[in-house]
Structure formats: C-alpha cells, structure tokens
Homo-oligomer: A and B are copies of this chain.
Amino acid sequence: MNLLLLEEADFIAADRVVLRDRRLKHMQEVHRAEVGDSLRVGRINGLLGNAELLRLEPHEAELRVELQSAPPTKLPLTLLLALPRPKMLRRVFQTVATMGVPKVILLNSYRVEKSFWQTPFLEPEAIREQLILGLEQARDSVLPEIVIEKRFKPFVEDRLPQIALDTLGLVGHPGDFPACPRAVTEQVTLAIGPEGGWIPYEIDLLRQSGLQPVQLGERILRVETAVTALLARLF
C-alpha cells in the first residue's frame, strides 16, 4: 500500500477521517505509524495529499487530511478483455487499476468457460476491493469503470463500432500480424482474448467493428502478463 485511500464514509469533518478497518491494521503493522507521522493519502475519485496521524488507538485512528494534488493521468484507452478465469480476474483488476486503465469491458468469448461468469469476484464489492488494491499500489485515486458484456456478438456488432470510432483499434492476437505499435499518443481501443485466444469468427467480427490484429511475438503470455506487456509497449 503506497497510498492510503479514503472513502466518503471515513470523513467526520472536511479535513478529518477516522479509520478502523484493514487500513488501520496496515498502518499499525506495516507502516508502524506513530502519532505525528505523515502518510500519503488520496480521496477515492478525488485528490491526493498527506495526512497527519492525530490519534492512534488499538481499534481506530484519526487523521488530519490535506488534499491538494491531482492523481496521475489515465491511459487514453478502452480495454476489452475476454473474461479471465476467476483467480486471474482478481489479479487483472489490480493490474488494470495500477497501470491506469480508465475503462475495462469484460466480454464473453467462445473460449470463456460459462462457469467463469458465476464467480463471486464479479460482484461489485469484490471488483471494487481489487481495484482499490491496484490504485493503492500505483498511488492513484480514481476507480476504473468496469462494464460487463455477457453477449459477444450484439456488443461487438452494435456497440463496439461507436467505441472504436476515431480511435486506434487493436486486438492482441498471436500469428502472422503486424507487431503491436509503440509509443502511440492517440486514443486506443484494445481487445485482449481469453486463454487459448479468440476464435477466427471472433477475430472477423472484431475486425469488422474496427479493431486490427497485432502481435507481441511468438511467446504465449498469460492474460495478466499480456495486459501489462501490451500497455507498456503501446504507451
């Protein structure tokens, strides 16, 4: 945790918060914070700043908060991701939040097992928990938007063309395709497939909606690694 993220409910006054949960525990056990210490904080979806620890008791801490600086900018990106298996999904939520992705659309695909859609990790509270861990890591305060699209074809045919319009539309796909571009500055729409990849029918539909296949070499990457590698290369 490189940043302590503050929720609206933590505020007892405009510049005061009281913490009682895992953040208190983290301050006690990892930071070993003492009264008078200054900590980096951020208000969720708001500014970053510092907080002075005013009072530290076994079950709660009170801090005086001063928020003054803007969070880091997000990537100019909409990320379409075939729903990963549950264990990977949690890590991917952290990774996209850390890397600064502002919007993720989770998509069905032929190679997404139906059972993956039943995971409790897709509950809004579970998603938020992982996103916050990722934001704390990166020292960002702005939650990415997560959209769930369980039907591939209607989404790709009816809504993707508008999303991809006037953006650099790309789909990461191993094979005989151009290499993923580097250091782009325009807005990007990027689709990343499931383990085993998109099927040809899906690639065809994604192409028709404005995404061009690009590859990262012959090595097959896990989804989390592919997300990081594509973003690090693109931006």
Q: Which residues of A contact B (CB under 8 A)?
A: 2, 72, 94-95, 98-100, 137-140, 182-183, 216-222, 225, 228-233
Contact = CB atoms under 8 A, between A and B. Distances in A.
A99 B232 CA distance: 14
A91 to B, nearest CB: 9
A102 to B, nearest CB: 13
A25 B209 CA distance: 40
Nearest to A234: B232
B230 A100 contact: no
12 contacts: A95-B225, A98-B222, A98-B225, A99-B221, A99-B225, A137-B222, A139-B219, A140-B219, A182-B182, A225-B228, A228-B228, A229-B229
Contact of A232 (B94, B100, B233): B233
Contact of A230 (B140, B217, B218, B232): B232
Q: Which of A72, A98, A100, A225 has the most CB of B within 10 A?
A: A225
A47 to B, nearest CB: 15
Contacts of A140: 219
A220 B133 CA distance: 12
Nearest to A216: B232
A224 to B, nearest CB: 8
A98 B182 contact: no
A2 B218 CA distance: 12
Contacts of A95: 225
Residue of A72, A139, A221, A232 most packed against chain B (CB within 10 A) = A232
A137 B2 contact: no
Contacts of A216: 232
A221 B183 contact: no
Contacts of A182: 182-183
Contacts of A139: 218-220
Contacts of A232: 216, 228-230, 232-233
Nearest to A231: B229
Contacts of A137: 220-222
Nearest to A134: B222
A233 B99 CA distance: 14
A97 B2 CA distance: 28
